[in-house]
Structure 1
């Protein structure tokens, strides 16, 4: 099974690395890092990833994984990822996104009229792009799976493992990763975080 992980400047590393650690360790999987050019790609916090293929070289894969970014609007304007999605999605078995990566799926026409989730701060923008926005952590709609913000990419990938290889494989993978989150604060969503923290976060995350 070929899984293509899309890379683009300013993407959020955990959006990709979380699903990668879940999926790339499955014995049937060959992982590919795909970008507009073969040049290294710098993530938003400075991590550098090296593509293994370009969008022109790899136009088909069984699974597509599109990470998000705080600079998602720049990725929309650039258009390289969305152009690749328009070519690769029709023949993919599964198309997935993490966080604001859903805006790239939407711009490519994949989420029009479909339920999808994204980072809580970008729900209105995703709706404006034609998706039926849900607040769930993971949304499965046919062959398309979207995940909410950043860490939800691990949940998305475990969901995909269960759909492809069954619940026992997904449970085994979760156990090996020791994915048993118990965060020290109840501040992981706008519904549970203190109001002043939510207000500050909205201001920080607002597109400039």
Structure 2
């Protein structure tokens, strides 16, 4: 008899929906996988692009997860200091086989005290804050440290998902999923990292987000003092 694989994503307001939906699309196709989108209640949750995603379960009703995944986005600030969210992550992490994140979702795991002494990927804008939670920031699309697996910024969630699929169901299944989803990226520009993009483009991107960054920095300081 097949054993169900419970894969759960933290869903929260103003998250970057691709951080969640991209890996969920891949992982949902693993044999016997069941995807759970967990939030405090089951009311629709608005994402950063304006449309909403419906939770499939509340924190209280969520089953024990085999894979706990935290996506990122500009909504991380509130979650890093939310006792209910952090409590859910701590409880689930105790028996989860894998504790994972995409983009700056790793900072929420850090705020929950789940990254102390571990290596982690993170979006390039946010990786410098990981040390505040006792974690080591590592450049990479996917970083593995024991049962901790993390993806870098946003689109790295796809690479992360195929790596995790291989862990859960084997390399052959992961290859079949990659082929089935025709994952063969050919970006129009070679500027997907700060090094490749150059300082001028980096500064322009940072300038667009500076107010949001400053606001979340306050949450980071508060969260780092609480663990």
User: Normalising TM by the smaller chain, what interval?
Assistant: over 0.9
Instruction: Give the TM-score of the pair, scaled to structure 1.
Output: 0.96
Q: How does 1:57-206 map to 2 (within 5 A)?
A: 57-58=61-62, 60-206=64-210
| 4+ runs deviating over 4 angstroms | none
Q: What is the count of residue pairs matched by the alignment?
A: 208
Partners of 1:166 and 1:149 in 2: CA distance: 25
Partners of 1:85 and 1:71 in 2: CA distance: 16
Partners of 1:80 and 1:177 in 2: CA distance: 36
Partners of 2:67 and 2:74 in 1: CA distance: 24
* Unaligned 5+ runs, structure 1: none
Q: CA RMSD in A?
A: 1.2
* Unaligned 5+ runs, structure 2: 215-227
Distance change >3 Å, CA 109–CA 100, structure 1 → 2 = same
